[in-house]
Amino acid sequence: MMKTLHKQKNAGTGQSISASPLPFFKEINQEGTTKLLTDLSEKTGKQFPRLTNTGVDPAQFNGNIENFIGISQVPTGVVGPLGVHGTAANGTYYVPLATTEGALVASYHRGARACLLAGGITSICLQEAVQRSPVFKFENLSDLSLFVSWFLAEKQSFQPIIDSISRFAKLIESKIQIEGNHLTICFEYYTADAAGQNMVTICTDAICRFMIDQCPIKPSHWFIEGNSSGDKKATAHSFHHVRGKKVTAEIELSGAIVSEVLKTTSELMDRYWRTSTMGVIQSGAIGAQGHYANGLAALFLATGQDVACVAEASVGITRMEANKDGSLYASVTLPNLIVGTIGGGTNLPTQRECLALMDCLGEGMSIKYAEIAAALVLSGELSIAAALSAGQFTQAHQKLGRKKSI
């Protein structure tokens, strides 16, 4: 039964709320922002003094947001120094984390301190690739097979098309998957220092349009993404391969560091890791880790990454093993770090400062960033496992994570 639509009442004021849409502003400027805020205040009966008191020129956010109305402030803390030994990251780094979760920065900071005392974390970027997976529908398998034959013969034509669009993107390989009269092609790219989602979308679109124009066998329809590339989601395929950057990091902590800094023992941490890994397997999760998303979301927000990519970036494996001498071996492997040091939100003012704080601003820095990110994640895994193994977890959150409502 169709229901009659009525004007809703504002819960706070009792005033009627207009159902007419807000104006849409793609291009951001002061005049448009003022008009949008005026209209929003009229429709809601509310003012937004903190949200709108930015002190910055709205135009600098063009390309990052639409319908701009202000700045949402997120407190930013710092962890470090974090000692890292990698292929690109080699030294000590101070890592900014933007979060509203009390106890988070303290936990990562404790883990970083333990690792620094142990000589630093070895963190290595193993592999790089970003995917886009268009799908094509044909009338039948015969037409699909003819299209695939033409595609395989023309693959050498694709890189010049990419070069005309991007100076960074390189096509690594393309894989086909056939399901009935549907053909999915997974294009896998190297994207240099950009996270690459927009880059691979634009390049793949150009390739697809070339194929549709040149191939004698046309699909009945096609889509630029068939929802199989792993974009913004955890997938078993990406877990076993790579999406973005695949990084692994390891540390060995002496029994004394585990005791004095982490306030537990290697044996207890080993026992907790085994128990929690069994629990995560039973839950059906992809991977086995404690809280990658906590550190990655805070780091991504501070440094201008696409925060939604935490959905795939937080997939991975943590391992902890007690050694006979009382020391602890620990490692993390993250196969889906979608990160960049150019493009997207990395050019915004505070995000640039946070990247500069890490010595990761600009071209040539994305592998360093990924290796630092993996080291950060390992620090967080050690600290939370220590807290849970020694019964400190609840107390820490009661002390640092609770706040009276204002």
Q: From 235, 245, 238, 156, select the one nearest 196 (Cα to Cα).
A: 245
Q: What is the pLDDT of residues 265-299, one digit of tens each?
A: 999 999 999 999 999 999 999 999 999 999 999 99
For the chain, give every domain's residue range: 80-125+246-396, 134-223
* % of the chain with per-residue pLDDT over 90: 73
Nearest to 245 by CA among 362, 95, 371: 371
Q: Residue 341: is it exposed, middle or buried by C-beta count within 10 angstroms (0-12/13-18/19+)?
A: buried
Residue 362 one-letter amino acid = G
- Mean pLDDT over each residue of the chain, to the nearest integer: 90
Query: Is residue 217's pLDDT more than 80?
Result: yes
CB atoms within 10 A of CB 390: 16
**Range of lowest pLDDT (7-16, 123-132, 334-343):** 7-16
Q: What is the mean pLDDT of residues 23-31?
A: 78
**Which residues 6+ apart lie within 8 Å of 278 measured at CB?**
none
**For range 165-190, the mean pLDDT:** 95
In this structure, of 16-25, 86-95, 134-143, the range with the lowest mean pLDDT score is 16-25
When computed from its CA atoms, the radius of gyration of the chain, rounded to whole angstroms, is 25
Enumerate the active-site residues: 101, 306, 397
Residue of 69, 138, 84 lying closest to 250 (CA atoms): 84
**Cα–Cα distance, 19 to 197 (Å, whole number):** 35
pLDDT in the model for residue 67: 84
Does the domain spanning 134-223 belong to CATH 3.30.70.420? yes
Confidence of residue 400 (pLDDT cuts 50, 70, 90): low
* β-bridge partners, 135: 184, 223
Angle between helices 197-214 and 141-154 (to 10 degrees): 110
Q: How far apart are CA 356 and CA 100, in angstroms?
A: 22
**Measured between alpha carbons, how far is 118 from 258 in angstroms, rounded to an integer?**
10
Topology classification of domain 80-125+246-396: 3.90.770
- Report which of residues 24 and 187 the model is more confident about: 187
| pLDDT tens column, 242-265 | 999 999 999 999 999 999 999 999
- Mean pLDDT value across residues 184-193: 95
pLDDT score for 47 = 87
d(CA 237, CA 229): 9
Task: Please give the structure tokens belonging to residue 118.
Answer: 């142990």
Burial of residue 71 (number of CB atoms within 10 Å: 0-12, 13-18, 19+): middle
Residue with tokens 């991504």: 300
Q: Determine the average pLDDT of the residues in 308-328.
A: 95
Q: Tell me if 288 sits within 8 A of 347, measured CB to CB.
A: no
What's the pLDDT tens digit per position in 377-388?
999 999 999 999
Q: What Cα–Cα distance (Å) separates residue 294 from each residue in 43, 297, 310?
A: 36, 6, 9
Handedness of CA 108, 109, 114, 118 (dihedral sign): positive
Average pLDDT estimate for 172-186: 96
Q: What is the pLDDT of residue 4?
A: 44
Phi (first) and psi of residue 195, to 5 degrees: -60, -40
Question: How sure is the predictor about 402, in pLDDT bands with cuts at 50, 70 and 90?
Answer: low
Q: Which two tokens stand for residue 378?
A: 């390992």
Cα(311)–Cα(284) distance, integer angstroms:
16
Q: How does residue 394 score in pLDDT terms, banded at 50, 70 and 90? A: low
